[in-house]
Amino acid sequence: MANIFELFKSLGRSSGNAAGGPPEYILAGLGNPGVTYDRTRHNTGFLILDSLLSEYGVKADRSRFKGLCGEGRIGDKPVLFLKPQTFMNHSGECIAAAAKYYKIPSQRILVICDDINLPVGRMRIRKSGSDGGQKGLRSIIEHLNTEDFVRIRVGIGEKPSPDYDLVKWVLSRFTDDELRTLQGFTPYLKVGLEKILSGDIEGAMQDCNGVKL
Axis-axis angle for helices 186-197, 44-56 (nearest 10): 80
The answer to whether residue 7 sits within a structural domain is: no
- Report percent pLDDT > 90 for the chain: 88
Could you confirm whether 42 is annotated as catalytic? yes
Question: Does 30 have pLDDT greater than 50?
Answer: yes
pLDDT in tens, 144-170: 999 999 999 999 999 999 999 999 999
The answer to whether residue 5 sits within a structural domain is: no
What's the number of domains the chain is made of?
1
Quick one: CA torsion of 89, 162, 171, 26, rounded to 10 degrees? -50
The pLDDT value recorded for residue 20 is 67
Provide φ and ψ at 179, rounded to 5°.
-65, -40
Query: CATH number of the domain that 160 lies in?
Result: 3.40.50.1470
Element (H, E) at 73: strand 67-74
The answer to whether residue 9 sits within a structural domain is: no
The pLDDT value recorded for residue 80 is 98
The answer to whether residue 118 sits within a structural domain is: yes
Q: What is the mean pLDDT of the chain?
A: 91
pLDDT in tens, 49-67: 999 999 999 999 999 999 9
The answer to whether residue 141 sits within a structural domain is: yes
The answer to whether residue 83 sits within a structural domain is: yes
The pLDDT value recorded for residue 14 is 33
The answer to whether residue 101 sits within a structural domain is: yes
Catalytic residue, chosen from 42, 122, 135, 151, is 42
Question: Does 13 have pLDDT greater than 70?
Answer: no
HEC states along 77-115? EEEEEEEECCCHHHHHHHHHHHHHHHCCCHHHEEEEEEE
Please give the model's pTM, rounded to 2 decimal places: 0.90
The answer to whether residue 3 sits within a structural domain is: no
pLDDT in tens, 80-126: 999 999 999 999 999 999 999 999 999 999 999 999 999 999 999 99
| Domain around 108 | 19-208
Mean pLDDT lowest among 1-10, 77-86, 91-100, 133-142: 1-10
Identify the DSSP state of 175: P
- Mean pLDDT across the stretch 194-205? 96
